[in-house]
Amino acid sequence: MRDVVVLPIDEKYYREISPGGMAEQLLISARNRIFQDFRAYVQPSHSDQVLDVGVSDVVNDGANVLERSYPRAD
């Protein structure tokens, strides 16, 4: 029986970007700016809850910026 390798569903969107490369740095920079704009315009408080409908199953510095950056009580 062969072993089956299961990759995260969103892996295909990140496989062309080299970790630490210029494309990843631009991706991270753009997403961080979008998050900063979100905070500036929405001005959420610590008691607010946010539903992130664009969450990814990939874990890297360019994915899930809102999930990693939004302050929340755990």
Structure token digits, residue 49? 């809850």
Mean pLDDT of the 26-50 span? 90
Is residue 34 situated within a structural domain? Answer: yes
**For the chain, how many structural domains are there in total?**
1
d(C-alpha 2, C-alpha 25), whole Å: 37
* Cα(32)–Cα(39) distance, integer angstroms: 11
Question: pLDDT value at position 55?
Answer: 82
12: in domain = no
Structural domain boundaries enclosing 43? 18-69
Domain annotation covers residue 9: no
Cβ(63)–Cβ(43) under 8 Å? no
CB-based burial of residue 29 (10 Å sphere; 0-12 exposed, 13-18 middle, 19+ buried)?
Answer: exposed
* 37 pLDDT more than 80: yes
Q: Is this prediction's pTM over 0.75? A: no
